[in-house]
Structure 1
Amino acid sequence: MVLNKERNARISVAWGFIFKIVSLVCPFIIRTLLIKIMGSEYSGLGSLFTSILQVLSLAELGFGTAMVYSMYKPVAQDDKSKLSAILKYYRKIYYIISIIILVAGAAVLPFLKFLVKDDVPSSVNLYILYGIYVLNTFISYFGLAYRASLLSAYQREDINSIANLIVNVLLYAAQIIVLIIHPNYYLFIIFLPITTLLLNVIKYFYVKKKYKDITPTGELDEDVRKEIKTNMAALLCHKVGGVVVNSADNIVISAFLGLVVLSNYNNYYYLLSAISAFIIIIFTSLCAGVGNSLIVKTKEENERFFNRVFLINCVVVSFCTICFFNLYQLFVEFWVGKELMFDFFTVILFCIYFYLHMIRRTIIMYRDAFGAWKDNKIQPIVSCIFNLIVNIILVNFIGIYGILISTILSMVLIDIPWETITFFKNISKYSPKKYIIFGVSFIISTTISCLICYFIPFNVENLIVNMIINLGVSIAIFGLIQGPMYIVFKRMNRKVYNIDMYKS
């Protein structure tokens, strides 16, 4: 079965963007109200608990990704009996995972007080709040969640986005009402497990009706089970690395610097992650189509598309980095005020972090589509250990700088070179020539653009006017420097790569 990849990807990206716009604007409003009405400590608590639960979710072992990958081939072959057997196996494992998360969450309770430095709000019980977050994570895996994997396998991320949009709007509305009418943090977070359960119910019954021929029945062959377990073991390593980047930083900040600093850090990180999420929508929507194409298309066609995607990624990430560099401080000052701002060197570190993190997305997407996690499974573990050790050492000497520098160093010294060499040598067998040319060229041009912005500042007293002017400057400089380069590279690509792999 050849999926209509162009249509599915287009619809998925469209709905993904709508969902992310709502997921950007509404949490922004909620976070602003939470800081203004209840204080930065409450915002910091939410970030800390989310990070702890992300660590506990390592119990999932990357199983969901491995299962979706195992579905690509039977989807392409329209083998519904095999899909049914995979779904049954998926359900069984998710029951086990949910119990592990519940037990592991309880095991953290005695150590919870050591993860927060002295500024817990007196009006809340740390353990009750933590219990609600654990319950929310438990519900996200238990019972109904397994069926949603079919949406990813059939490249219907638009359905995921629509369901998430409906439920999240209800969540955001309820939380805003609580903050305005009766500010109470217990009421504020109790809606999390309620809406998570509602989301699982909606997806479960939609998938059950849409794919009624695929039910959790049958048994998987031993070779399929073995392949899934092998992929799970490799994915665990990758997930550990991701958790250190996304969660351990928050835990270290909370333990060493306190909840207020953690809240301020997450104000900056929130803006960065919100823009990152828009870019990742595209890769998430393309991944199933790429996985399908790796089965039904030739190596040459897949290589052509890989280079095109990476070129577009370079352009988008470069533009976003320049805008971050020019607008970060202005927006944070407008949003939460000068008293909750870091200095400009922190902004530079956030920009470097963003660029390095997002420029890797093309290789990561193709690695996932190839299902080639085991080829570099040691890399995230090495990066994880390095990052955590440097993190704890530097935070004691240079504070918040150390958190960002440790992550940047781990990407520059370990992640990017290791991923690149492994991908081109062992996984794809594609030529790395254009990848290197595009990557190096855009790193240099982005650096030059940011330097121009720094040495030719445009500042007026009104913050809104200042942001508009600096946005215009960012667009102009990007257009003058990156624009011609993109056109040259695109024409060069078109001369050699003239096949559109998404045309059936």
Structure 2
Amino acid sequence: MELNCSRTKKTMLNAIASLMDHFVIIMIKFASRYIFIFTLGKQYLGVSALFSSIITILSLADLGFGIALPQALYKPLAQKDERSICKILKFYSKVYTVISIAVIAVGLILLPFLRWIIADKGTNGIKYINIIYILFILQSASSYLFIYKKTLFAADQKDYCITFIESATSIISTLCQIFVLLLTHNYLLYLSVSIIAIISQNMFISRRCDKYYPFLKEVKLADNLDVSEIKTLSKKIYALFIYKVSIAVENGTDNLIMTAMCGIIITGICSNYTLIIKSVTSVLMRAMAAATASIGNVIATESNKNTYKIYSWLDFIGFWVYSVCGICMVILLNPFIELVLGREYLIGISTVVVLCINFYICGTQGVNSNFRNAYGLFYEGRYRPACMIVVNIVSSIILAKYMGITGIFVGTILSRVFTVGVFDPYIVFKHGLKMPLINYYKSHSIYHIVTFIVGFALSFIFNKWKISSLIWWILKAICLFLSINVIYIILFFRYRVFAELRMKFTNFAKNIYYRKFKQSNGVYYDNKRFDI
């Protein structure tokens, strides 16, 4: 293991690898979506969006183990306790086998009710819809095979070790899907390729993990967890299950409500926007999540004061990144869709703005989720997800009657603002950081005001810039991106958190430079390490 690798270096390696990986994959996914639309049409696009939402709800079967597992591994990894690591992984290998079976069973139980959701909603021209649904179920179930080993890399801050495998399998599978669509126009073969790719990817990662951590050969022979250890995990998993329910409801019910009230074609059109937004979100979340394991290490080794300083840094970075991306998407999404797909695939600008606001709010709340997970504060906030579910479903259905599809997404925003925006900071600041909560609301008030003013002003200016080709769209995107960042640098140059971050990364860069310089001259050099 890389014992001398600093937390900062690991975090940056994970973030860079994730960004490069996702950027390439997203470009290919967009090409695949373009070919999908013009070979299969709007109906299959809507079915894909709908079934993906159902599978999101079926993902509840993992009960939150995917979050609890890395959290359980932080301490034994820090202590190099290989015996405990093997015990934990043995337990989770059994759990994920049961989860995979449960996903298939629950999915098949829901099969008879499928027609109630999509009856008379534009699916008359779709063949083998039940088989398509079953393939989606198998795709979800297969994703749990061997996945417990992959989590070990994440908990050990070494996500970058498997980035190449994930990128290669994803690129190859997407290219194969494109080939299948162009050659056969067969959606069943398209889905089958995805299933094969998921199983292959997990098998390759499992083998890589075995080579990187030789002691994993002892997992099958490891002792079972003690009853007390299982009880401790069960308490966290109970709370995590409730969190998983809220996430599934938020991500899965919008398309269900939209299909039931507006039709499956509208669901398909909106899925183009959500695909772009979710793609950007996945890139940013992977980059930000690269620091999650580092957060766990900080909590275990640093004082509350230093931990809060790091929280402030990550919170500010989160605001900056999601604010810039959110403003860019408000201005650039519709022109992009019109250029690539055509005007018939556009939605109203009000709906676009609401989708981007939801993106921004989710992103700026992400640091609280990361710290809550790193602290293991799941049980303390167990009632928040239940409130979120109620607010989301009720408000989305009511507002959909008066505002159409825009109302559905407004309901999702309200559920996040009045639940996640209230409960999560309270839990993290009271039980974790032990700092005054007013600090959070002061900083976020500044962030939100700046985002609104800058976004409104630049929208007014850049919406007058009409584009006629993809090259002009790219030029407009570059100018917009640079404008926002220059404005933010001017506004926040003397802001305390920004000044600390400038000093932090300046020292880090100098440290790397001096170390390489001294080593190149044959002189031993051990400068002070500036760890996040």
Change (3 A) 1:273 1:91: same
User: Residues 1-58 of structure 1, C-alpha deviation per residue, up to 9 Å, x if partnerless?
Assistant: 7863222222211221122112211111111111112101111111111111111110
User: Residues 411-443 of structure 1, C-alpha deviation per residue, up to 9 Å, x if partnerless?
Assistant: 222220222222212232134455333321121
Q: Is 2:167 aligned against 1:139?
A: no
- The partner residue of 1:129 within 128, 132, 135 is 132
SS in 2 for 1:120: coil
Q: Is 2:278 aligned against 1:273?
A: yes
Superposed, which structure 2 residues align to 1:34-73 within 5 Å?
34-73=36-75
Deviation at 1:327, TM superposition (A): 0.9
Q: Is 2:406 aligned against 1:404?
A: no
2:377–2:427: 8 Å Cα contact kept in structure 1? Answer: no
Q: Is 2:96 aligned against 1:94?
A: yes
Larger mean Cα displacement after TM superposition, 176-185 or 155-164:
155-164
User: Residues 145-202 of structure 1, C-alpha deviation per residue, up to 9 Å, x if partnerless?
Assistant: 2222211121111133222111111110111101222211111111111111101110
Task: State the distance in 2 between where 1:155 and 1:251 align.
Answer: 37
Partner of 2:500 in structure 1? Answer: 494
Using structure 1 for the length normalisation, give the TM-score: 0.94
Change (3 A) 1:480 1:4: closer
Change (3 A) 1:444 1:63: same
Partner of 2:387 in structure 1? Answer: 382
Task: State the distance in 1 between where 2:211 and 2:446 align.
Answer: 49
Deviation at 1:101, TM superposition (A): 1.0
**Structure 2 residue identity aligned to 1:133:** F
Partner of 1:467 in structure 2? Answer: 473
Change (3 A) 1:22 1:479: closer
1:304–1:497: 8 Å Cα contact kept in structure 2? Answer: no
Superposed, which structure 2 residues align to 1:321-470 within 5 Å?
321-432=326-437, 434-456=439-461, 457-460=463-466, 462-464=468-470, 467-468=473-474, 470=476
Using structure 2 for the length normalisation, give the TM-score: 0.89
**Structure 1 residue identity aligned to 2:197:** T
SS in 2 for 1:141: coil
Partner of 1:31 in structure 2? Answer: 33
SS in 2 for 1:462: coil
Task: State the distance in 1 between where 2:92 and 2:265 align.
Answer: 40
Partner of 1:220 in structure 2? Answer: 225
Deviation at 1:496, TM superposition (A): 13
SS in 1 for 2:464: coil
Task: State the distance in 2 between where 1:495 and 1:480 align.
Answer: 17
Deviation at 1:89, TM superposition (A): 0.6
2:324–2:485: 8 Å Cα contact kept in structure 1? Answer: no
Superposed, which structure 2 residues align to 1:214-293 within 5 Å?
214=216, 215-216=218-219, 217-293=222-298
Task: State the distance in 2 between where 1:495 and 1:328 align.
Answer: 31
Task: State the distance in 1 between where 2:240 and 2:254 align.
Answer: 21
1:2–1:76: 8 Å Cα contact kept in structure 2? Answer: no
SS in 2 for 1:200: helix
User: Residues 220-264 of structure 1, C-alpha deviation per residue, up to 9 Å, x if partnerless?
Assistant: 222221121111111111111111111111111122222211111
1:117–1:254: 8 Å Cα contact kept in structure 2? Answer: no
Larger mean Cα displacement after TM superposition, 215-224 or 335-344:
215-224
Superposed, which structure 2 residues align to 1:4-23 within 5 Å?
4-23=6-25
Task: State the distance in 2 between where 1:235 and 1:249 align.
Answer: 22
Task: State the distance in 1 between where 2:28 and 2:482 align.
Answer: 30
Deviation at 1:325, TM superposition (A): 1.9
Task: State the distance in 1 between where 2:403 and 2:419 align.
Answer: 22
Deviation at 1:203, TM superposition (A): 1.2
User: Residues 427-467 of structure 1, C-alpha deviation per residue, up to 9 Å, x if partnerless?
Assistant: 32134455333321121111111221333332335143653
1:38–1:183: 8 Å Cα contact kept in structure 2? Answer: yes
Partner of 1:503 in structure 2? Answer: 531
Alignment length (residue pairs): 503
Change (3 A) 1:260 1:45: same
1:50–1:133: 8 Å Cα contact kept in structure 2? Answer: yes
Identity %: 25
Task: State the distance in 2 between where 1:377 and 1:497 align.
Answer: 39
Deviation at 1:139, TM superposition (A): 1.6
**Structure 2 residue identity aligned to 1:305:** I
1:445–1:481: 8 Å Cα contact kept in structure 2? Answer: no
- The partner residue of 2:489 within 475, 483, 490 is 483
User: Residues 470-498 of structure 1, C-alpha deviation per residue, up to 9 Å, x if partnerless?
Assistant: 43553354245422222122467539997
Structure 2, unpaired ranges of 5+: 509-528
- The partner residue of 2:323 within 309, 318, 338 is 318
2:13–2:160: 8 Å Cα contact kept in structure 1? Answer: yes
Structure 1, unpaired ranges of 5+: none
Larger mean Cα displacement after TM superposition, 343-352 or 421-430:
421-430
Task: State the distance in 2 between where 1:15 and 1:32 align.
Answer: 26
Task: State the distance in 2 between where 1:485 and 1:432 align.
Answer: 24
User: Residues 341-396 of structure 1, C-alpha deviation per residue, up to 9 Å, x if partnerless?
Assistant: 11111111112111111110111111111111112121111111110122122223
2:293–2:374: 8 Å Cα contact kept in structure 1? Answer: yes
**Structure 2 residue identity aligned to 1:137:** S
Change (3 A) 1:173 1:455: closer
1:458–1:466: 8 Å Cα contact kept in structure 2? Answer: no
Larger mean Cα displacement after TM superposition, 4-13 or 54-63:
4-13
**Structure 1 residue identity aligned to 2:237:** M
Larger mean Cα displacement after TM superposition, 213-222 or 346-355:
213-222
Change (3 A) 1:102 1:460: closer
Deviation at 1:123, TM superposition (A): 4.5
Larger mean Cα displacement after TM superposition, 254-263 or 472-481:
472-481
SS in 2 for 1:213: helix
SS in 1 for 2:123: coil
Change (3 A) 1:49 1:134: same
Task: State the distance in 1 between where 2:137 and 2:326 align.
Answer: 35
Partner of 1:176 in structure 2? Answer: 178
Change (3 A) 1:489 1:436: farther
RMSD over aligned Cα, in angstroms? 2.2
Task: State the distance in 1 between where 2:19 and 2:5 align.
Answer: 22
